[in-house]
Amino acid sequence: MPEPIGVLIMAYGGPNSLEEIPGYLADIRNGRPTTPEVLEEITHNYRRIGGRSPLLEITRRQADAILEVLNASEASPRFKGYLGMRHWAPWIEETVGRMIEDGIRRAVSLVLAPHFSQLSIAKYHQKIADGLAMYRGHIDFVHVESYHDAPGLIEALARRVEEGLHRWPKPERETVHVVFSAHSLPVRILQTGDPYDRQLRETARLVAGRVGLPEARWSWSYQSAGRSPEPWLGPQLEEHLPELAARGIRNVVSVPVGFVSDHVEILYDIDIQAQEVAREHGMRLERPPALNDDPVFIRQLAELVREKAAAAGWLAETGAVAP
């Protein structure tokens, strides 16, 4: 039987209850104290979306679906799936330890975030390295570093745009403006040549082109900036919407291309906070569903994993790579 190939699917992580929020924030802030004001604000936000993050449940569905596609073309299951979170359980480091215990010697890692940054994707890769060091093991990892222009991602996002536009009657659709967005990062990344901003804007352009949106009918914004004194990439969505309103735009579709799953940055920052701003300015704001376990998206992720494994020479035993 061919040696199994590990597939480590990773996401950011989120609290499963309000009681877990202080520990979750402590991990994000690397042990730096969280002020009572910030703790109350974050707790309020999670309370508004039901008291917990749905991210773990969604990520499990995504990981299971990816493995199902990967192994569908194998005579016997070749790929073995694992799930790790960067800032909450199941921790990436501990998951790597389980992989070592299972005898995995080679693996593909995939972060459920399409755009590379040293402040995001590279941090996941460091967690893997930390896990290998912590558990004193060796696994030959290859990483899917980014997939911002992958055809399946663009197609799935384009379908979301179209779904949003179709919430208006056909005669009104030409008045609808699409706002693409992603999680903000500190402005300092631009000075280091970090590709994050460039990749995000390319994704937006590709999706707009796939849908046939003229430049005047779409724009870019960031969202969910961190709570630190340094400048963050903008404009922020809650600032951008009033700017659009001032131009006479009243109908908006929000498509957060930097997120592939429903969690607080979508369920609160867009569905509650941005909606409140839109209503204050006489705007109608619609958000189509996040990608989550969309089949087109899942097939693309499985293809990326398979391509990495094939490029590493790990699929040679089974002959040609299945489409």
206 and 264 assigned to the same domain:
yes
- Res 320: pLDDT: 36
For residue 59, the domain's CATH number is 3.40.50.1400
Instruction: Give 10-residue mean pLDDT values along the chain (323 residues).
Output: 94 97 94 92 97 98 98 86 98 98 98 98 98 98 98 98 98 97 97 97 98 98 92 97 98 98 97 98 98 98 98 72 37
92 and 211 assigned to the same domain:
no
Is 67 contained in some domain?
Answer: yes
Is 46 contained in some domain?
Answer: no
171 and 117 assigned to the same domain:
no
Structural domain that includes position 236 = 151-286
104 and 181 assigned to the same domain:
no
157 and 280 assigned to the same domain:
yes
| Sequence-distant (≥ 6) Cβ neighbours of residue 268 within 8 angstroms | 45, 46, 48, 49
Is 28 contained in some domain?
Answer: no
271 and 164 assigned to the same domain:
yes
- Res 147: pLDDT: 98
81 and 163 assigned to the same domain:
no
Q: Which residues pair with 251 in a beta bridge?
A: 176, 284
- Res 321: pLDDT: 36
139 and 9 assigned to the same domain:
yes
Is 234 contained in some domain?
Answer: yes
| Sequence-distant (≥ 6) Cβ neighbours of residue 215 within 8 angstroms | 208
Task: Kindly list the distances between the CA atom of residue 304 and the CA atoms of 84, 95, 244, 245, 252, in Å, as whole numbers in the listed order.
Answer: 18, 21, 37, 40, 32
- Res 140: pLDDT: 98
- Res 30: pLDDT: 87
181 and 272 assigned to the same domain:
yes
Q: Is 44 exposed, middle or buried (0-12, 13-18, 19+ CB in 10 A)?
A: exposed
**Sheet containing 140-144: order of strands:** 79-85, 5-11, 106-111, 140-144
Question: pTM of the prediction?
Answer: 0.95
Is 237 contained in some domain?
Answer: yes
- Res 313: pLDDT: 96
Give the total number of structural domains in the chain: 2
